[in-house]
Structure 1
Amino acid sequence: MTKRRRRRKWKESAPKQVSKEERKEKSIEKREEKRREEKRREEKRREEKKRKEKKNKYERSELSKKRLQK
């Protein structure tokens, strides 16, 4: 491999310079995205819990109805 080729390959693979502000903005965006994702997960958990409670309540009422019929 010639020097020229080696240099070109190195330049292409070299990390690009990013300003401090850009890095800061990106980290802030990541944090916000994580918060939003956590909120979504929490909301899903709550919904799932409510659904399970409703289901259990219904099943209990059905059981009690059967017991009363006996």
Structure 2
Amino acid sequence: MGAGGFLLIVIAALLLFGPNKLPELGRAVGRTFREFKEATRDIIEDEPEAKQATVVPRSESPKTEERLPE
């Protein structure tokens, strides 16, 4: 996306929302990105705890060599 595409988006936003609503819309988008980033950071920080959980080895199931008659 080049400068022309960005300019087109800005002009469309001005026409749709008007110059008075754009700062409010920008703040709302910024808050949304910040909350998403914080939630992502929390998930990443919680992940090492899950990896450190103790793993209980499975007990081996008894092997049966019996076969059903054909």
- TM-score for both structures, normalised by structure 1: 0.50
Unaligned ranges ≥5, structure 2: 1-11, 57-70
Supply the distance in 1 between the matched residues of 2:49 and 2:23 (Cα, whole angstroms): 39
Residues matched between the structures, number: 44
- TM-score for both structures, normalised by structure 2: 0.50
Supply the distance in 1 between the matched residues of 2:31 and 2:21 (Cα, whole angstroms): 15
CA drift at 1:34: 0.3
Matches within 5 A, 1:31-70: 31-53=30-52, 55=53, 58-59=54-55
Unaligned ranges ≥5, structure 1: 1-14, 63-70
Supply the distance in 1 between the matched residues of 2:33 and 2:17 (Cα, whole angstroms): 22
CA drift at 1:46: 1.3
RMSD, aligned CA: 2.3
The alpha-carbon distance between structure 1 residues 38 and 17, as it changes in their structure 2 partners (threshold 3 A), is: closer
Higher helix share: 1
Letter in 2 for 1:37: F
Greater RCO structure (CA 8 Å; 6+ sep): 2
